[in-house]
Amino acid sequence: MSEREKIIHILGIGLDNEDGHKRLTRAEDFTIAGGSEETHERMTETLVKTCESLKRHGRTIGDADSREIAELIDKNTPR
C-alpha cells in the first residue's frame, strides 16, 4: 500500500445543521464536525462501529487500507 492510500484519521463533516448548535466529536481515529443532531449521531455511530470492527481484528484505521475502511463504513452505516 502506498502512503497515498493510507488513512490515518477520518474527518466527517455534516452540512445539514439548521439549529445553530455546534457539534464536535473527537476520537483517536476520527473527528466529526457539524451536522444536525441526527446526522452527527449517525456519522459518529458509523465510525465508532467501524473502529470497533477493526479493533476486534487487532487493527486500527492506520493499519487498514482505504478499500477495507470504505467497505466497513458502508456496512456500519445505519439504514
Distance in angstroms (rounded) separating the CA atoms of residues 76 and 10: 15
pLDDT above 60 for 37: yes
What is the mean pLDDT of the segment spanning 31-58?
A: 97
What is the mean pLDDT of the segment spanning 22-35?
A: 97
pLDDT above 60 for 19: yes
Distance in angstroms (rounded) separating the CA atoms of residues 69 and 63: 10
| Ranges of each domain in the chain | 3-76
Distance in angstroms (rounded) separating the CA atoms of residues 48 and 73: 10
Per the model's pLDDT, the better-predicted residue between 2 and 53 turns out to be 53
pLDDT of residue 11: 97
pTM (global) more than 0.85: yes
Find, among 33, 75, 32, 69, the residue nearest to 51 by Cα: 69
* Ramachandran sector of residue 58 (left: φ over 0; alpha: ψ -120 to 50; beta: rest): left
Span 51-73, pLDDT tens digits: 999 999 999 999 998 999 999 99
